[in-house]
Structure formats: structure tokens, C-alpha cells
């Protein structure tokens, strides 16, 4: 066949894929950003956006949504596929870097606070093909019910090797195998590369035992426990989050003739790949990512303080030998009341005698009464600043200057959010509005802003008590995910069992909220990179446009995303000045 004819046929094929086929009148569609939470009965926008403009660095995920609505009858057999993305110079990002999810809805019986709402809300994301086992699941093709919205979540991963530039591609929607329309997608890839290992440290709780019971119906064996724990821990790492808890199995130990010995084989097999950067292999997104924290797993009771001290000493020795010592901490006490302080001090002084010294983490605002034993202060976000017009929510609300004086070598400041963001076991009133929140029925910006607060208030890390708390409550998280008065409190996953999602293997099902937390973690990387290239003040001006107070920040999606775009463009210019790609 003549070369010219081949080129003509190829051009016709590409044009056919990209051509926008007019949908029948019964099929309405539009695109929206990742901060929108589209409910089934939300009205069709007055202006329906018919394309997507995305901006991303390399080694970054960038999401958007396509919303479909059937007007006159249910539409079954609806499907979607994607073209490759190309620049005018011929650079290409394969469609294999696109993951599409069907958004499912959870039925909320009560709002989390007066900011929230009951009814059907989008949250679980069922992939066409999952990233863990590469199995095709049963979400596609799907049915769009008459008179209801069906959103799709689409994320594009920009590989480290992608060339900076302007890419074009498209999504093609079909009905019963026949193309209905295509969605033009413009993707601008900036020069800079985000690191695979997060700059903002984190430690989110994860119970492998509860995950196993949800997936298998009961505790089966240690092999299954380590397998399912590994999947969930990898999922967290793919969302730039490090976990604590895991299998919850401390190393076996013995104490004979005054010598403490620990058997590290099972622990290192479980946790080692995440600390070493081997959990995500080459060729996968975020290759080489490392966990940014690891907690000491301590048996509940030691007969003497000397035994406990010897046990902790072995932890610090092992982590030094492995090169992990900078990430080890001892979760000394959780939310101590003032009456607990003597016991906190007693236990903290024992850990302080280990060599090298353990870093003690305590979830409390700064207090001089504990400063000798605390190396990682973790105040509640509500305790960073008083909210005017309301009684003090926290026993103590020290100024941020008090923490600044603590940021000496070996000491650091983290923070956390809790049910205090929405109201604990109540439908929170006016005080509980405006705080960052990981609840389902909170605005998308509320799920993404925590990491901007971390930058604004000089936090080095974020703690969160659990990613799968509802797994252990004796109910099905797909049916009831409300805990502590909040919809989704402590639960960022759903159990992906084959009987529900298809395929052969169990996997974690990610939530929209988990995706938005990753967006916040990536925003933090933008700020950190710009500060490195142009100075802290350059990054601060963008954080100041998003965050004014812990309870007062930019919640309008369009404005939020415009700041993020401006930040990315400033970082792209800084990368160009530093010598091009970085």
C-alpha cells in the first residue's frame, strides 16, 4: 500500500475518534472539575461545559468528571474509552495512563453538620480496571437512569518521562457500541516533576485485621492478613499517604539472661518494602515512593519498665541499621487529659532513656507540662486558633509562636482533624462550620484544604486516626459509613469484594475523598518546590490566597483551582529559570 494512502487512512481514523458526534436529545452531558460533588438529582447546569482543560506537573495525577444524564428513558450499555494524548511535536502520553471510575452513591440518613446533607452522595469509585491486579471489574458498561445524573471520575497520570507541552486527546462515549459523542481533553504538562515520596509527612491509621474480616468474613490466617494489608497500604501510598497499624503484629521477642531479642522477619517483610521504596515497582505511578513515618508496635504489657525500655531500644537499633530511623516514632499517648499528664511523663521518661532517643508523638496542644517528653506535637486543627464568638473548644489554644520555639532539631509539629470538624455524635451547628473535613457530605474543597493549612501554619505532618474504621463496626460500610456523627468519619475506603465489583480478587475501593486528599498532597508539593526555587515567600502568597484561618478558607471550586493553576504556572516559570526540566 502506498505510504501516502496509509497516512490518509491514519488521519481519517484519528479524525473519526476525535469527531464530536451529536448525542440524541435524550442524552445530556457535561464536564466538571474534581471539586464538584454531583448528586443524582442535581439540576443540569445552565451552561454545560463540553470539554476539559487540565494542567499538571510530571509524576502527578490530574482528575476531572464527566456527567451523563438520560432524559426520556433509562440508557443501558453506556461505555467510555480514551484516545492517546499527543502534542503537535509528536510527544505522546498513552491512554494506558488513564483510569476511569464509575461513581457510586451512598445513602446518608443524617447530615454530618448543618453544612452537610442527607440523601444520595457520590463517594465510592469503581474502576473499569483496577491498578492493583489489573482485573476488569463489572462497573462498565453501565446504565444511566432516566432523569438522574451519573458522574464518571477520570484521572490521568502524567509519567515522569512525559515531555512538557500541550497535549490533546479525547474521551468517547458509546451506547450499545455506537459512538454518541466525544469529549475533547486538553492537557498542559508543566516542566517540573513531583517527587514520588511525599514532602508532607503523614500517618493515617489502617486496620489490616478489620480489612481482612470485611473481605473474608472472618480472620482466616496471617498470610491473608499480610496480603490484604499490603494492598491497602499500597493504595494509601499511591495517594501519597503513609499508614500506621497495618497487621498490628509487633515483632516476636524474647528476653533471656538480660538480653532482649526481636525476630524482625515478618515485620520487615510487611513494612520494609514501604520504607525502602520497593512497594511500587518500576513502570507504575509513583515508582520508588517511600513511607514517611513508622510507629513502634508495642505489646500491650511489659512486666517492668526495664523490659519496655529494652524493647524500644531494639526498635531504634534496628531502624538505624536499616536507614529508617528518621521516620520512627512512638505514639506515646492519644489526647491526654490533664489528669493523665503524670502517667504521660512517666512513660515518656522511660522512652527518653533509649539510645538513640525515640521521638514521642502526643496528640495534644503544646503545654510546658509535657515539653520534656514530647518531640512531635500534634494539636487538633480546632486548637490552632480560637474561633471568634464561641466558647473555647480546646482546654488550651497556645499561639503558634509557642510551637515555633519547639521546632529545634529532633522536634516537629504535626496536626490532625477529628469529629470536631463536624460535631461529635451530633449534627454540628454553627461552630462546626468552616473546618477542613474528610466527610462525604462536605464540599470538595473541605476534603482538599487540610494540606494548604499545613503549609500556611508550618506543619510538618498530618495524623488521621483511621482509613477504614467502619470496617470494624459490625456493619457493611457500603450501607452504613456514619461514625462519631460524621458520614465517612475515619473511613476513606470501601471493601472491594468480587461479589460486588466483579473480577476475581479483593481490592480496596477508593473514595472521592481519598482522591481529593491526594490532590491536596500534590498541592503541597507545588508549594514546597516553589519555595525551594524562589523562596518561601513566593509560595506563601499562594497559600494566603487559599487559607486565611483554620476555619476560613477558599471554598469556591473555580477560585480554588485558579489559585492552583497560577501556582503551577509560577512553578513552571521557576523551573524554566533553573535550567528547564527539574
The C-alpha angle 207, 209, 213, rounded to 5 degrees, equals 120
Assess contact for 141 and 79: CB atoms under 8 A.
yes
Distance separating alpha carbons of residues 497 and 519, to the nearest angstrom: 26
pLDDT of residue 550: 97
CA 487 to chain centroid, in Å, comes to 17
Name which of 467, 417, 447 is nearest 243 in CA terms. Answer: 467
Distance separating alpha carbons of residues 577 and 572, to the nearest angstrom: 9
* Interval 166-203: pLDDT, tens: 999 999 999 999 999 999 999 999 999 999 999 999 99
The SS3 assignment for 128 reads coil
How many other β-carbons are positioned within 10 Å of the β-carbon of residue 162? Answer: 24
Helix or strand holding residue 519 (H, E): helix 512-534
* Interval 355-413: pLDDT, tens: 888 999 999 999 999 999 999 999 999 999 999 999 889 988 998 888 877 767 789 99
Q: What single-letter DSSP state applies at residue 72?
A: S
pLDDT of residue 407: 66
Assess contact for 202 and 295: CB atoms under 8 A.
no
Q: What single-letter DSSP state applies at residue 87?
A: -
The SS3 assignment for 124 reads strand
How far lies 517's CA from each of 272, 362, 470, in Å? 25, 23, 19
Assess contact for 251 and 297: CB atoms under 8 A.
yes
Helix or strand holding residue 28 (H, E): strand 27-32
Distance separating alpha carbons of residues 418 and 424, to the nearest angstrom: 8
> Mind spelling out the 3-state secondary structure of 418-453?
CHHHCCCCCCECHHHCCCCCCCCCCCHHHHHCHHHH
Name which of 360, 402, 362 is nearest 380 in CA terms. Answer: 362
Distance separating alpha carbons of residues 442 and 428, to the nearest angstrom: 12
pLDDT of residue 15: 43
With cell 484544604, the residue in question is 449
Helix or strand holding residue 158 (H, E): strand 149-158
Q: What single-letter DSSP state applies at residue 401?
A: H
Assess contact for 127 and 100: CB atoms under 8 A.
yes
Q: What single-letter DSSP state applies at residue 164?
A: S
- Supply the angle between the helices 512-534 and 536-546 in degrees, to the nearest 10: 150
Longest CA–CA separation in the chain, Å = 87
Residue 431, C-alpha cell as written in the block:
461552630
* Interval 251-307: pLDDT, tens: 999 998 889 999 999 999 999 999 999 999 999 999 999 999 999 999 877 888 899
* Interval 200-238: pLDDT, tens: 999 999 999 999 999 999 999 999 999 999 999 999 999
> Mind spelling out the 3-state secondary structure of 167-206?
EEEEEEEEECCEEEEEEEEEEEEEEEECCCCCCCEEEEEE
Assess contact for 511 and 124: CB atoms under 8 A.
yes
Name which of 542, 370, 517 is nearest 451 in CA terms. Answer: 517
- By DSSP bridging, strand 376-377 and strand 412-416 are parallel
* Interval 490-539: pLDDT, tens: 999 999 999 999 999 999 999 999 999 999 999 999 999 999 999 999 99
With cell 459509613, the residue in question is 481
What percent of the chain has a predicted confidence (pLDDT) above 90?
88
For residue 6, pLDDT beyond 90: no
Rg (CA), the chain: 25
Distance separating alpha carbons of residues 400 and 385, to the nearest angstrom: 8
Distance from the first to the final alpha carbon of the chain? 44
pLDDT of residue 240: 98
Contacts of 531-537 with CB under 8 Å at 24 or more apart are: 533/571, 533/574, 533/575, 533/577, 533/578, 533/582, 534/570, 534/574
pLDDT band at 27 (very low <50, low <70, confident <90, very high): confident
Residue 495, C-alpha cell as written in the block:
471493601
Distance separating alpha carbons of residues 491 and 208, to the nearest angstrom: 13
pLDDT of residue 22: 46
Average pLDDT over residues 90-112: 98
Amino acid at each position: 500500500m502506498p505510504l501516502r494512502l496509509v497516512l490518509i487512512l491514519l488521519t481519517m481514523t484519528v479524525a473519526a475518534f476525535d469527531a464530536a458526534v451529536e448525542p440524541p436529545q435524550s442524552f445530556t452531558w457535561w464536564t466538571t472539575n474534581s471539586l464538584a460533588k454531583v448528586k443524582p438529582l442535581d439540576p443540569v447546569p445552565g451552561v454545560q461545559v463540553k470539554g476539559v482543560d487540565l494542567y499538571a506537573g510530571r509524576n502527578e495525577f490530574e482528575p476531572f468528571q464527566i456527567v451523563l444524564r438520560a432524559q426520556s428513558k433509562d440508557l443501558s450499555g453506556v461505555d467510555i474509552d480514551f484516545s492517546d494524548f499527543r502534542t503537535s511535536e509528536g510527544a505522546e502520553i498513552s491512554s494506558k495512563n488513564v483510569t476511569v471510575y464509575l461513581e457510586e452513591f451512598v445513602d446518608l440518613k443524617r447530615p454530618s453538620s448543618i453544612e452537610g446533607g442527607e440523601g444520595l452522595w457520590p463517594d465510592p469509585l469503581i474502576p473499569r480496571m483496577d491498578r492493583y491486579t489489573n482485573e476488569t471489574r463489572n462497573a462498565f458498561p453501565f446504565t444511566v437512569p432516566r432523569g438522574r445524573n451519573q458522574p464518571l471520575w477520570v484521572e490521568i497520570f502524567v509519567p515522569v518521562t512525559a515531555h512538557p507541552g500541550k497535549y490533546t486527546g479525547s474521551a468517547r462515549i458509546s451506547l450499545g457500541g455506537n459512538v454518541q459523542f466525544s469529549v475533547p481533553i486538553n492537557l498542559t504538562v508543566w516542566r517540573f516533576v513531583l517527587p514520588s515520596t511525599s514532602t508532607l509527612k503523614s500517618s493515617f491509621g489502617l486496620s489490616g485485621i478489620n480489612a481482612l474480616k470485611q473481605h473474608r468474613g472472618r480472620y482466616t490466617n496471617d498470610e491473608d492478613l499480610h496480603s490484604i494489608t499490603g494492598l491497602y497500604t499500597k493504595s494509601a501510598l499511591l495517594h501519597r499517604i503513609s499508614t500506621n497499624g497495618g497487621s498490628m503484629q509487633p515483632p516476636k521477642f524474647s528476653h533471656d539472661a538480660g538480653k532482649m531479642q526481636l525476630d524482625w522477619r515478618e515485620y520487615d517483610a510487611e513494612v520494609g518494602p514501604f520504607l525502602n521504596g520497593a512497594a511500587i515497582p518500576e513502570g507504575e505511578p509513583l515508582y520508588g515512593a517511600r513511607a514517611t513515618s513508622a510507629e513502634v508496635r508495642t505489646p500491650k504489657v511489659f512486666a517492668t519498665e526495664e523490659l519496655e525500655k529494652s524493647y524500644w531500644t531494639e526498635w531504634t537499633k534496628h531502624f538505624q541499621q536499616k536507614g529508617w530511623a528518621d521516620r520512627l516514632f512512638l505514639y506515646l499517648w492519644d489526647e491526654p487529659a490533664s489528669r493523665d499528664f503524670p502517667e504521660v511523663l512517666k512513660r515518656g521518661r522511660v522512652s527518653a532513656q533509649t539510645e538513640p532517643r525515640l521521638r514521642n508523638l502526643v496528640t495534644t496542644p503544646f503545654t510546658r507540662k509535657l515539653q520534656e517528653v514530647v518531640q512531635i506535637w500534634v494539636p487538633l486543627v480546632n486548637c490552632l486558633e480560637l474561633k471568634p464568638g464561641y466558647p473555647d473548644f480546646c482546654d488550651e489554644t497556645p499561639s503558634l509562636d509557642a510551637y515555633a520555639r519547639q521546632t529545634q532539631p529532633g522536634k516537629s509539629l504535626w496536626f490532625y482533624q477529628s469529629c470536631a470538624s463536624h460535631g461529635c455524635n451530633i449534627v454540628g451547628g454553627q461552630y462546626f462550620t468552616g473546618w477542613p473535613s474528610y466527610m462525604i457530605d462536605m464540599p470538595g474543597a473541605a476534603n482538599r484544604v487540610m494540606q494548604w493549612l499545613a503549609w500556611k501554619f508550618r506543619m510538618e505532618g498530618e495524623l488521621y486516626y483511621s482509613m477504614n474504621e467502619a470496617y470494624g463496626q459490625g456493619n457493611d460500610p457500603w450501607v452504613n459509613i456514619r461514625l462519631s456523627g460524621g458520614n465517612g468519619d475515619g473511613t476513606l475506603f470501601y471493601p472491594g469484594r468480587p461479589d460486588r465489583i466483579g473480577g476475581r480478587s479483593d481490592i480496596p475501593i477508593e473514595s472521592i475523598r481519598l482522591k481529593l486528599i491526594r490532590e491536596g498532597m500534590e498541592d503541597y508539593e507545588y508549594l514546597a518546590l516553589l519555595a525551594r526555587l524562589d523562596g518561601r515567600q513566593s509560595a506563601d502568597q499562594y497559600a494566603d490566597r487559599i487559607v486565611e484561618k483554620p476555619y476560613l478558607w477558599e471554598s469556591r471550586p473555580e477560585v480554588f483551582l485558579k489559585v492552583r493553576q497560577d501556582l503551577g504556572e509560577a512553578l513552571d516559570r521557576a523551573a524554566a529559570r533553573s535550567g528547564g526540566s527539574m
